[in-house]
Amino acid sequence: MATTATFMDDASALALADRVSAWLKERIDEAGADRFVLGLSGGIDSAVVCGLCVRAIGPERVLPIIMPSSSIPDDAVQAHKVANAFGVKPVTVDLTAVADAVFAAMPDESDLYADTLGEAIPEGSEARLQLARANVRPRSRMITNYYLANLSRGIVVGTGNKTEYLIGYFTKYGDGGVDLAPLVDLYKFEVRAIAKAIGVPESVITRPPSAGLWEGQTDEAEIGISYADLDTTLLAMESGDTSRIDPDLLARVERKIAVSAHKRTSVPAFRK
C-alpha cells in the first residue's frame, strides 16, 4: 500500500477552483463561443466541472447533457441534483437505442474471425468484446456533446482528471474527445476537495466512482487500484521519490502509464 496521505484544505480548494474558473472564462472569451457544453453523469468529476463552468460564466451559459445508455436510474437522479445545486437546466438524450443499433449492425464475433479473418477466436476475446461494446457509449456521448455544441454555439468541456489521464483511464475519441480539459492537471483528491468546497451534493461526492460502462462497474474495481493509492503513487513519481511506495504497486502504475501512452500523444503521421 501507498503510505503518503493526500489532503487539501477548503481554502486551498476554493483558491484552486477560482483559478480553474478564471481559466475557463479566458478560454470561452478567446473562442467567442456562447456557452459551455458538458456531459453530466451523476459522478463527481462532471459535477465539479459543471460547478466550475457556472462560476466562470453563470448558469444560463452552461448546457449540461444527461445521456443515459442502459444506465442505472440513480445516475440521472444524481445528475439532476447537481443541476439543481448549480442552477443549470440540463437536456436529456437517451442513447440506449443508439448503442443497441451499433451492436446490431456489427458482425457476429464468430463470423468475423472464421469468415473474415480466417482465424480461431483467440483467448480473452470475451473481455475484448466487453470493452469494445462498453466504449460505444462514451463515443456516442462525445457525438451528442458536439452535436448540441454545434447547435448552440458552444464548446465541449471535458471532465477527466489527472489521475485517470495519466494511467489512460478514458476512452479515446469518447470522453477524451473535448475542446477544453479543466481537470486534467488535478488529481482525484483535488477534485474531491473542490467538490466539497463549491457545494457539490454530498450524495454525489460519496457515491463510488463509475463510468457506467456495464452493470455493477466501478472505476476502482476495473482499474484494480484505489484512487488514494493511485494519487499517492503518481505524486511520488512526480516528485522523483518513490522510496515509500510498495514496489508491486509502483510497477502496476508504471505499466498502466506505459501501455496507455498512445492516448496522450498526437496520432502518428507520415511526413515527407
Q: What is the structure's pLDDT at 12?
A: 96
Q: What is the structure's pLDDT at 1?
A: 41
Measured CA to CA, the distance from residue 177 to residue 144 in angstroms comes to 11
Q: What is the pLDDT of residues 72-87, one digit of tens each?
A: 899 999 999 999 999 9
Q: What is the structure's pLDDT at 256?
A: 97
**C-alpha cell recorded at residue 80:** 439532476
Q: Looking at residues 146-170, what average pLDDT do you find?
A: 97
Ranges of each domain in the chain: 10-263
Q: What is the pLDDT of residues 19-45, one digit of tens each?
A: 999 999 999 999 999 999 999 999 999
Q: What is the structure's pLDDT at 111?
A: 82
Q: Looking at residues 153-178, what average pLDDT do you find?
A: 97
Share of the chain above pLDDT 90, in %: 81
Q: What is the pLDDT of residues 46-69, one digit of tens each?
A: 999 999 999 999 999 999 999 999
Q: Looking at residues 236-247, what average pLDDT do you find?
A: 96
Domain 10-263 CATH assignment equals 3.40.190.10: no
Higher-pLDDT residue of 193 and 113 is 193
- Residue 35 pairs in a beta bridge with 154
Lowest-confidence segment of 97-101, 103-107, 220-224, 257-261 by average pLDDT? 220-224
Q: Looking at residues 80-98, what average pLDDT do you find?
A: 98
The strands making up 154-156's β-sheet, listed across from edge to edge, are 91-92, 62-66, 35-39, 154-156
Non-local CB neighbours of 240 within 8 Å, separated by 6+ positions: none
Phi-psi region of 199 (alpha: psi -120 to 50; beta: other; left: phi over 0): left
pLDDT band at 109 (very low <50, low <70, confident <90, very high): confident
Q: What is the structure's pLDDT at 211?
A: 66
Q: What is the structure's pLDDT at 216?
A: 67
User: What predicted TM-score, i.e. pTM, was given to this entire model?
Assistant: 0.93
CA distances from residue 166 to 24, 185, 231, 234, 254 in whole angstroms, order as listed: 22, 10, 10, 8, 10
Tell me what the pLDDT averaged over the chain comes to.
93
Q: What is the structure's pLDDT at 3?
A: 44
Q: Looking at residues 231-244, what average pLDDT do you find?
A: 96
